[in-house]
Amino acid sequence: MMLTQPTLLLDKAKCLANIERMATKAKNANVLFRPHFKTHQSAEVGSWFRDYEVECITVSSVKMAVYFANNGWTDITIAFPANILEWSTINKLAGRINLNIVVESIETIQALEKQLSNPVGIYIKTDTGYGRTGVNAENYETMQMLLSKLKTCKNLIFIGFLCHAGHTYNTISNDEVGQIMESSRQQLLALKTFMANDFPLIQLSYGDTPSCSQFDNFEGFDEIRPGNFAFYDNMQAHLGSCHLNDIAVAMACPVVAKHAERLEIIIHGGAVHFSKDQISINGKPQFGTVIKLDGLNWDTNHKIGHIAKLSQEHGIIKVPTDQFEQINIGDMLAILPVHSCLTSNLMGEYLTTEGKRISML
C-alpha cells in the first residue's frame, strides 16, 4: 500500500502486547481491569480487549458511552463529572446497560435524582491531589453530605470513590509517580474506612497510565482504569511508563521541503494531525519523535530527529547532519506522537501495519 497523505498507523501486535501486559498485571493483583477507551475511541480496537477477558470499560463522555454501548459493551463508567443537561441520554443508556457515572456536587445529585427513572451506579469523583476537579479526598464533611443525600436517592446507587491521579504527568521520576500512587491509595483507604460503618461495600476505582504502567501493587483498589497504555506515546516514554518500542501508533507524514542551512525537514503533519501537546527536552519543546518508515512499519532503532515546531498543517523536524542527506522530498516518515489520545481523536481513522483501515467514533 502506497501512502501519500498524513496517515495514522497502528501496529496491532504492539497494541495487543500492551493490552495483555496490563490485563495480566490487573489479574495478578486481583483488581478489575476497566480500561479507558477514550484513547482509541474505536469499536474494533475495543473488541481486541475481549480476548483478555475485558467486559467493563471507561469512557470520557456520554457520546462515547452511547457509541460503545451500540457496539456491544454493557458495563460502562463515564469517568467525567456528569453533565446534568445530558440526563435524557444518560437515562436511556441506563435503561439498556450497566451504567456508572461520576458526581461531585449536591446540585448534580439533586438534578439527576429528579430526572432519572432508571438506576445508575454513582461514583464520587475524588481529588487525591491532582487539583483538577472532584471532592478533596480529605474533605470528609462534604463526602458525608453527598453520601447522606445519595442514601435517599432511589435511582442513584452509590458504588464508591473514583480518582484520576493526573498529577503523575507532572513528575520527573518513577519515584515521584510511586509516591503519588501511594498517597492516593492511603487517602482513598482512609476515606473508605471512615465511611465503612454506613457504607460497608465501598469500591475504590483508580486510574492513570503512568502509575498503572510503572507499578504493579494495586492493593486496596478494586479496579484500575488506565487508557493510554493501549497505544502509549512519546509522553509516556518520557515519563518512563514504556519504551519507545512499545508505542503502537505512528503518524506517517510526507516530506515536502528541506532546509539544509538549518538542518530542518518540513512535513505535511501539523496541529490538525498531532494536536499541540508537547514534551520539554532540555528546556525545548518537542512534538514527536521521528523514525524511518519502512512500508507501513517502523523500527525505533532508526531514529531521525524530532518535531521542533508545529503549525496548522506544517511540522518542522530537526535532524542531525548525517541524517539530513538521507531524507528526500517525497519520503514518508514515521512520527511517534506526544499524545496518542489527541492524535487519534484528530485523525478519526487508523491504518494497521497490515494495511487494514479501522474506523473510530
Residues 204-233 that bind a second copy (CB under 8 A): none
Distance CA 236, CA 191 (A): 30
Contact map string, positions 56 to 95, toward a second copy, x by CB under 8 A = ----xxxx----------------xxxxxxx--x------
29 binds a second copy (CB under 8 A): no
Nearer to a second copy, 31 or 42 (CB): 42
β-strands 57-59, 249-259 pairing: unpaired
Give, in order, the Cα–Cα distances in Å from 311 to each of 5, 251, 316, 328.
Answer: 17, 16, 9, 21
Nearer to a second copy, 275 or 352 (CB): 275
Instruction: Mark out the alpha helices in the chain (DSSP H runs).
Output: 12-29, 43-48, 62-70, 87-94, 106-115, 140-151, 174-195, 209-214, 234-239, 271-274, 321-324, 340-347
Q: How far is the CB of 328 from a second copy (least distance, A)?
A: 7
Grid coordinates representing 221 are: 483498589
Look at the block and give the residue holding cell 517502523.
Answer: 298
Q: Do the Cβ atoms of 96 and 161 come closer than 8 Å?
A: no
Q: Cα torsion at 307, 311, 314, 318 (round to 10°)? A: -20
Q: How far is the CB of 245 from a second copy (least distance, A)?
A: 25
Q: Which of 47, 70, 71, 133 binds a second copy (CB under 8 A)?
A: 133
Nearer to a second copy, 160 or 166 (CB): 166
263 binds a second copy (CB under 8 A): no
Residues 296-325 that bind a second copy (CB under 8 A): 309, 311-314, 316
Q: How far is the CB of 166 from a second copy (least distance, A)?
A: 7
Q: Which of 121, 160, 166, 337 binds a second copy (CB under 8 A)?
A: 166
Q: How far is the CB of 316 from a second copy (least distance, A)?
A: 7
271 binds a second copy (CB under 8 A): yes
Q: Do the Cβ atoms of 113 and 154 come closer than 8 Å?
A: yes
Nearer to a second copy, 36 or 185 (CB): 36
In this structure, how many other beta carbons lie within 10 angstroms of the beta carbon of residue 84? 17
Grid coordinates representing 199 are: 457504607
Q: Which residues bind a second copy (CB under 8 A)?
A: 2-5, 38, 60-63, 80-86, 89, 104-105, 107-108, 111, 125, 131-134, 166, 254, 256-259, 262, 266, 268, 271-272, 275-277, 309, 311-314, 316, 328-330, 332, 341-342, 345-346
